[in-house]
Amino acid sequence: MTESTYTPPKVWEWEPGNGGKFANINRPTAGPTHEKKLPVGKHPHQLYSLATPNGVKVTVMFEELLARGLSDAEYDAWLIDIGEGDQFGSGFVEVNPNSKIPAMVDHATEPVTRLFESGSILLYLAEKFGVFLPKGHQARTECLNWLFWQMGSAPYLGGGFGHFYAYAPEPIKYCVDRFTMEVKRQLDVLDRHLADHEYMAGDDYTIADMAIWAWYGQLALGRLYDAAEFLQVDTYENVQRWSRTIDARPAVLRGRMVNRPFGDPAMQLRERHDASDFELRTQDKIGESDD
């Protein structure tokens, strides 16, 4: 079947295993596929995630909070293997009915608070701990503008460009061209903005930077889809400057390592439950990269 011969039927019907990297877990219905309780550790914050860009946003936030000396931000990080369908376990679906990582439970509240969607989790933690979210009206609004820009824009990068460029069972020129054009437009949006701003919301590093960096910063650094040359990411000089500044933060390195079951084993920490042990794992990796 090619793009030139396919005619959509009047009523779409699902064909299981219809190709692509994630064909074995994709389905057109919601809800759990199996019974599986989620583990619960000793800390108030229980994070269920994977080190995809959406997952990295939240682990970076937690590690930045701890780097600020906010010990109440300690958390247990549990690996959710989306390739194996862990996100469809009954316990995970109770926390996130949309079956996407990351998801979190805050046991410090009564009753406990469930959270899903990375932007919601970032905003929740920023408000709970009073950091990485400006307090002034204009600056706070600008931060939220860019946070929600990322939430609306990244699906074009991941589900659009990333899927058709790297994961689709066969290349389709129209799809690759369509989403490449959009991703380059988004990079230009960022590059123009960062020409006049140190960080996304101004002079201060915020949750907007964490959210956008996890996708577009890592893209600019050549870590997503092996597409750096194809997209000519090095030409976006302001994005490059911003990306490298954030990448150099020790908490960002630690956040990248949590729940990362791929890449260099020295850069993996499949589950994180103790800060002191984690520091021993990462102290000699600061400033290094496996990508």
| Reported confidence tier of residue 279, pLDDT bands at 50, 70, 90 | low
Q: What is the pLDDT of residues 216-275, one digit of tens each?
A: 999 999 999 999 999 999 999 999 999 999 999 999 999 999 999 988 888 888 777 776
First to last CA, the chain: 36
Residue 1: what pLDDT? 45
Reply yes or no on whether the pLDDT at 289 is more than 70: no
The mean per-residue pLDDT over the stretch 102-110 comes to 98
Residue 268: what pLDDT? 86
Reply yes or no on whether the pLDDT at 291 is more than 60: no
Residue 287: what pLDDT? 44
Residue 272: what pLDDT? 77
In a domain? residue 41: no
Residue 114: what pLDDT? 98
Handedness of CA 26, 28, 31, 34 (dihedral sign): negative
Task: Provide the domain limits for residue 174.
Answer: 137-250
In a domain? residue 163: yes
In a domain? residue 269: no
Give yes or no for a contact between 247 and 241, defined as CB atoms under 8 angstroms apart: no
| Reported confidence tier of residue 276, pLDDT bands at 50, 70, 90 | low
The mean per-residue pLDDT over the stretch 134-144 comes to 97
Residue 189: what pLDDT? 98
Q: Which of 290, 208, 283 is nearest to 250 (CA)?
A: 283
CATH number for the domain including 233? Answer: 1.20.1050.10
Q: Is the pLDDT higher at 288 or at 106? A: 106
Reply yes or no on whether the pLDDT at 148 is more than 90: yes
Residue 265: what pLDDT? 87
Reply yes or no on whether the pLDDT at 277 is more than 60: no
In a domain? residue 160: yes
- Find the range with the poorest average confidence among 32-46, 200-214, 271-285: 271-285
Give yes or no for a contact between 247 and 221, defined as CB atoms under 8 angstroms apart: yes
Residue 4: what pLDDT? 64
Buried b (16+ CB within 10 A) or exposed e, 77-92: bbbbebeebbbbbebb
Give CA–CA dist 105/109, Å, rounded.
10
Instruction: Tell me the percentage of the chain whose pLDDT exceeds 70.
Output: 92
Q: What is the residue whose two structure tokens read 């009753």?
A: 111
The mean per-residue pLDDT over the stretch 76-101 comes to 96
> HEC profile for the chain?
CCCCCCCCCCCCCCCCCCCCCCCCCCCCCCCCCECCCCCCCCCCEEEEECCCHHHHHHHHHHHHHHHCCCHHHCEEEEECCHHHCHHHEHHHHHHCCCCCCCEEEECCCCCCEEEECHHHHHHHHHHHHCCCCCCCHHHHHHHHHHHHHHHHHHHHHHHHHHHHHHHCCCCCHHHHHHHHHHHHHHHHHHHHHHCCCCECCECCCCHHHHHHHHHHHHHHCCCCCCCHHHHCHHHCHHHHHHHHHHHCCHHHHHHHHECCCCCCHHHCECCECCHHHHHHHHCCCCCCCCC
Q: What is the mean pLDDT of the chain?
A: 92
Q: Is the pLDDT higher at 27 or at 122? A: 122
Give yes or no for a contact between 25 and 82, defined as CB atoms under 8 angstroms apart: yes
Residue 6: what pLDDT? 84
Give CA–CA dist 30/88, Å, rounded.
8
Bridge partners for 113 per DSSP: 106
Give CA–CA dist 74/39, Å, rounded.
16
| Reported confidence tier of residue 124, pLDDT bands at 50, 70, 90 | very high
The mean per-residue pLDDT over the stretch 141-162 comes to 98
Question: Tokens standing for 212?
Answer: 């956008």
Instruction: Say if strands 45-49 and 75-79 run parallel, antiparallel, or are unpaired.
Output: parallel
The tally of domains found in the chain comes to: 1
Give CA–CA dist 209/246, Å, rounded.
8
In a domain? residue 78: no
